[in-house]
Amino acid sequence: MTTYAVVQAPFGAVTVGVVDGAVTDVRFPHADGSPAAPPDGTRAAPGDDPVLHEAVRQLEAYLAGERRDFDLPLRYRGSPFRQRVWEGLRAVPYGTTATYGALATSLGLDPRTTARAVGAANGANHLPIVVPCHRVIGADGTLTGFSGGIERKRELLALEARVASGAGTLF
């Protein structure tokens, strides 16, 4: 059973789910703005679970521009290939972007034959933001598909660009 909490973000309520001491889900709000809950989830106060508490704390700090990466126990749901891609996503630096082909290359794969598979794995990421799939863009520099929608992807990239450049921060 997933225990989850809701974090308010500039673009709506983000749901964070935890199972057995590991973060398993980060979900964007439904189209109507209501929080998306894991299918087998029970909403809890973040303080009811230490991992949930820490996940909420880190996500809030990221959204406030005070955190650049996450240090949480994660539980992936996917094939070994997808898990390899998701680990590769975690290496894309804050405030930057990479293409699907560049991500494939960084994983030691031939981008000519694996860029689409890397893209599919990117799209199947159950931990967006924490595993920063929003940092991957098309080869021509366009913003491509994102589970939270292109506008949320744009907002996350803009947040990171502002923080990385020092613009719009208090200090």
> Does the CA dihedral 12-13-18-24 come out positive or negative?
negative
Q: At what angle do helices 80-89 and 111-123 cross, to 10 degrees?
A: 90
Active site residue 121: no
Task: Tell me the β-bridge partners of 20.
Answer: none
Catalytic residue selected from 7, 85, 133, 159: 133
Which two structure tokens, joined as six digits, stand for 127? 């931990």
What is the b/e burial string over 131-158, where b = at least 16 CB atoms within 10 angstroms of the residue's CB? bbbbbbbeeeeeebebbbeeebbebbbe
Question: Residues near 164 by Cβ (< 8 Å), separated by ≥ 6?
Answer: 94, 95, 96
Q: Which residues are catalytic?
A: 133
